[in-house]
């Protein structure tokens, strides 16, 4: 494809949204693509002059600008549900992506951002911002540290939101193992305790059990519900979980979901002393306790030790 017929931005290279239809067409050629391979294939198909094809950012990593923009397109298409992550690092075109190509729909920034899954992504990001908002003094000039902190928080919010989507796309068994692993990482299991996922065929309404000591004198029971974003957990589910706790003579339980809880469910859980964890809090905890994620980059910020210079 002649890159000159596409919308171009800085450096005279196509913008990420101009590359989006091309990414989809290439993705359709195979069952799945590794993300890196898909970016390179897209960049190579543009008939770019060598100088533009090899143009990199002025940074230590020497990242290819056009491949970076193709990667941005892959990410946005995945968020909008036009591409789907099949396994770690691999993507495939979805039925929705094929449908839009088949119908000749303009696949641009506006169309991508209007997709229901993308809108859901934006709502979850906004909810994260609201939950993490803190009262801070308003400085005329924000400090370098405060800017870095805000940028890191915004980046991690994007990661957490993408993480929640991957969890929703996983199998129920994976999700149940995940929540037990997370609670263990949070210290619920204790130094000599144990944790396991119950057998699905005879779990009695309990998905996971955590013994906080070796003798099992203090036990936490877990219920895990993998729901879509719009499918709230209702009061009957909380009543059912409380019944399972009662049958096990338990006085504590944790109910974790990938969605959220209705007002009646929240009120009922409070009366039963059941701890509720919704999808947003779940992924915030996963980042905090490094479950399912890894640290990409860390920074040290210094200040002068005034005591060192005092007599």
Give yes or no: residues 62 and 17 share one domain.
yes
More confident residue, 191 or 21: 21
Asked if 49 and 146 sit in the same domain, the reply is no
Which tens digit of pLDDT belongs to each residue from 87-108?
878 999 999 999 999 999 999 9
Is 119 within a domain?
Answer: no
Residue 139 has pLDDT above 90, yes or no: no
Query: Nearest 10 degrees: CA dihedral of 110, 113, 115, 119?
Result: -140
Tell me: the pLDDT tens digits for 28-55? 999 999 999 999 999 999 999 999 999 9
Residues 107-117: what's their mean pLDDT?
95
Query: Do 141 and 254 lie in a common domain?
Result: yes
**Same structural domain for residues 64 and 158?**
no
Burial 14-31 (b: 16+ CB within 10 A, else e): bbbbbbbbbbbbbbeeee
Tens digits of residue pLDDT in 175-203 = 999 999 999 999 888 777 788 888 765 55
| Predicted confidence (pLDDT) per residue in 232-283, tens digit | 999 999 999 999 999 988 878 999 999 999 999 999 999 998 999 999 999 9
> What's the structural domain count of the chain?
2
Where does the pLDDT of residue 58 fall: very low under 50, low under 70, confident under 90, or very high at 90 and above?
Answer: confident
Q: How far apart are the first and last CA of the chain?
A: 70
| Measured distance CA(71)–CA(184) in Å, rounded | 35
Give backbone dihedrals phi and psi of 192, rounded to 5 degrees, phi first. -125, 15
Clarify whether residues 300 and 214 are in a common domain. Answer: yes
Asked whether residue 226 is domain-assigned, the answer is yes
Q: How far is CA 306 from the centre of its chain?
A: 41
Give the burial class of 69: count Cβ atoms within 10 A of its Cβ; 0-12 exposed, 13-18 middle, 19 or more buried. buried
Task: Supply the pTM of this predicted model.
Answer: 0.76
Q: Which two tokens stand for residue 9?
A: 């931005």
16 and 101 assigned to the same domain: yes
Percent of the chain with pLDDT over 70: 94
| CATH number of 139's domain | 3.40.1350.10
Beta-carbon count within 10 A of 305 CB: 8
**Same-domain status, 208 and 242:** yes
> Do 311 and 275 belong to one domain?
yes
Average pLDDT over residues 70-82: 95
- 106 lies in the same domain as 204: no
Statement to judge: residues 86 and 191 lie in one domain: no
One domain, residues 132 and 110: no
Q: What is the residue range of 194's domain?
A: 124-311
CATH number of the domain to which 34 belongs = 1.10.10
- The candidate with the shortest Cα–Cα distance to 251, out of 273, 277, 281, is 273
Of the residues 88, 114, 140, which one is the last residue of a structural domain? Answer: 114
Whether the per-residue pLDDT at 78 is higher than 90: the answer is: yes
Shared-domain flag, residues 293 and 150: yes
């Amino acid at each position: 494809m002649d890159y000159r017929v596409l919308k171009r931005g800085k450096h005279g290279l196509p913008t990420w949204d101009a590359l989006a239809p091309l990414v989809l067409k290439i993705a359709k050629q195979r069952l799945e693509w590794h993300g890196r391979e898909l970016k390179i294939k897209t960049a190579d198909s543009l008939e770019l002059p060598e100088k533009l094809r090899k143009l990199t950012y002025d940074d230590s990593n020497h990242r290819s600008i056009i491949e970076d923009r193709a990667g941005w397109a892959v990410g946005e298409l995945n968020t909008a549900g036009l591409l789907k992550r099949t396994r770690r690092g691999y993507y495939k075109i979805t039925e929705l992506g094929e449908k839009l190509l088949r119908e000749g729909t303009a696949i641009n920034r506006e169309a991508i951002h209007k997709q229901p899954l993308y809108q859901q992504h934006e709502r979850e990001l906004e909810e994260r911002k609201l939950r993490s908002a803190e009262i801070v003094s308003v400085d005329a000039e924000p400090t370098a540290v405060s800017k870095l902190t805000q940028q890191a928080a915004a980046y991690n919010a994007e990661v957490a939101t993408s993480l929640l989507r991957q969890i929703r796309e996983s199998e129920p068994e994976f999700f149940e193992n995940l929540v037990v692993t997370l609670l263990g990482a949070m210290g619920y299991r204790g130094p000599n305790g144990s944790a396991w996922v119950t057998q699905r065929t005879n779990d009695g309404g309990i998905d996971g059990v955590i013994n906080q000591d070796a003798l099992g004198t203090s036990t936490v029971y877990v219920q895990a519900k993998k729901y879509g974003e719009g499918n709230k957990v209702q009061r009957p589910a909380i009543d059912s979980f409380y019944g399972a706790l009662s049958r096990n003579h338990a006085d504590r339980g944790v109910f974790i979901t990938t969605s959220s809880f209705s007002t009646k469910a929240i009120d009922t859980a409070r009366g039963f002393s059941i701890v509720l964890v919704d999808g947003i809090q779940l992924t915030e905890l996963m980042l905090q306790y490094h479950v399912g994620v890894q640290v990409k980059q860390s920074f040290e910020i210094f200040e002068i030790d005034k005591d060192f210079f005092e007599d």
